[in-house]
Amino acid sequence: MTVDTVGRFERALEGLEVGLERVAAADASERIERISQEPAVGAPLPFDGVALPKSVTTEPTAAELEGARTGVTPVGFAIAEYGTVAVESTPRGAEPIALYPEHHVAVVAESDVVPDLGAGFDRLADGFDAGRDSVVFATGRSATADMGDLVHGVHGPGDVTVIVLEDR
């Protein structure tokens, strides 16, 4: 990863009207808590020193998932070129947590932001080799213009925030 890869990712997200925050791992739990609106659901975060707020339900029922305002998920990797996050499928179901609530908070390590689609495919191949064979790619907020004007949040989150954990 080049120094500019995260900057490139940030610029791509700006064009998609998605916020990006660079946060030290030591501060991430507090930041996630501040931007999460309750009720909130989440998938366990596999980053050292980063935890979900206690108010976040990690094994939501269908009703809790449907009623959640915020969904917090880890991201296996992100593609800077397109502002895309790759939410890896998990046995507990991280994908619905990323897709159902109004606000998706995606958490990714700085070292997992790759520059382009080719590097993303390399990451996919590595994951498939390790038995992780399903991923949801999300680029920006949910949007549709099927019925005329562009509308956000009809079939997915209308608001997305990406938290990049600094590798210091």
Query: How large is the average pLDDT for residues 122-139?
Result: 86
Torsion, Cα of 40, 42, 48, 53 (10° steps): 20
Q: What is the pTM of this model?
A: 0.90
pLDDT at 150 over 70: no
Of the pLDDT bands very low, low, confident and very high (cuts 50, 70, 90), residue 93 is confident
Question: Strand 103-109 relative to strand 70-74: parallel, antiparallel, unpaired?
Answer: parallel
Domains of the chain in start order, with CATH, are: 4-44+56-166 (3.40.50.10420)
Torsion, Cα of 157, 159, 160, 161 (10° steps): -150
Q: What pLDDT, in 10s, does the model give residues 32-45? A: 999 999 999 999 99
Q: What pLDDT, in 10s, does the model give residues 34-88? A: 999 999 999 999 999 999 999 999 999 999 999 999 999 999 999 999 999 999 8
